[in-house]
Amino acid sequence: MHKSFHLIKRKLKKKTVFYVRFFDEYDNRLPWRSTGQTSRAAAENWCYEQMKRGIIPGKASVSFELFSKDWWTDRCQYCAARTAAGRTLSKAYISVMRGMLVNYILPYFKDYRLEKINKRFIEKWLLELRSKALSDVTVNHIFTCLKIMLNRAVEMELIYRDPTAGILKLRETSRERGTLTLDEIRSLFGGEALFDVWGGNLPGFTGAILPVVTGLRQGEVLGLQIQHVFKDHVAVVYSWARGELVPPKWNSRRVVPIPQRAAGFLADLIAENGYRGPEDFVFQGPDRSIPLSAYTLLRSFYGALGRIGIDEERRRERNIVYHSLRHTFNTVMRGRIPDAKLQSLTGHRTERMLEHYTHWQLEDYKDVLEVQEQYFS
């Protein structure tokens, strides 16, 4: 019965260093590697320490599931090291990466040992992700998450080389977002649509009419607090992203006018839920500390589309998503109000917008209100 490793001496230019070959649990010999030690006793102690800590390079017992256990959590050593180096990772970023790991990486890799994950295996996985109707951009983000983790495994000497090296990211091609026609807007939001199309679902209905009349992003809708809703406008101060309130994208805090009908639905929603404080969310979730989930709004919107004749196949063909409501607002307003004013409403990041949007006052938006009342009431 031999040891779990075998040591030899190798003479280098300036010193003699002990190299080790470990044996895995199946008695297979693993590649030679340097211990960095110059005496046999120190080399043996180093080997036993590697075995004790469970980080023997190529050790068969190190599964991806075990390796990834604490990744992208408050116990993640990688995140802690980045923070110590002054490169703090936001909670939102960590939450996104954890979601990618749990939903798209672990189900595929968890039962595999680190040293068994190779280039061919990863490329097959990427193609499978693509077949799940994920965009190439999303697949590339998920791949980046895996690459960071496997690079770290190399640094920890769990594996000798990064199997993601040399794998090219997918070519990212973007499809133009679909928008709603005026007739579709009227079918979704006009007359008795709240009951006939939305089944009386006031949060879902209001969560869709708000971006179509204001151009708000989904996170900005979900992050809306009672204190930022007024009879003729809303103040965009926060966005709800990955479980926390953050500034809106590009820090585009702004004031956006709203037509009377949309203001009425917002007031009804606030009253219906019996909110108690100004910091309560307009779109209240099961717990007052969080808003509705983005998925809840999305599911309601897609259901309403189906009831006006835009089934799932047609929706996908036209590329209509929740963000299409924002695109629809932009399309309706474009050419009817000055571009700089439109950019101030939508919070788009352009040099012209940055120069102008902070100077607009609510009374300057009379032309916007005229278009809103004409098209959305």
Confidence of residue 159 (pLDDT cuts 50, 70, 90): confident
Confidence of residue 367 (pLDDT cuts 50, 70, 90): confident
Q: How far apart are CA 98 and CA 121, in angstroms?
A: 22
pLDDT tens for 109-154 read 998 988 889 999 999 999 898 877 677 888 899 999 999 999 998 8
The residues with which 238 forms a beta bridge, in sequence order, are none
pLDDT tens for 84-117 read 888 877 777 888 899 899 999 999 999 898 888 9
Confidence of residue 349 (pLDDT cuts 50, 70, 90): low
For residue 256, count other CB atoms closer than 10 A to its CB.
Answer: 23
Q: How far apart are CA 365 and CA 337, in angstroms?
A: 9
pLDDT tens for 34-73 read 888 999 999 999 888 887 776 665 444 578 999 999 999 9
Q: How far apart are CA 218 and CA 221, in angstroms?
A: 5
Q: How far apart are CA 167 and CA 151, in angstroms?
A: 13
Cα 308–Cα 201–Cα 280 angle in degrees, nearest 5: 135
pLDDT for 357:
34
Name the pTM for this structure: 0.60
Q: How far apart are CA 267 and CA 8, in angstroms?
A: 78
Q: What percent of the chain has pLDDT over 90?
A: 48
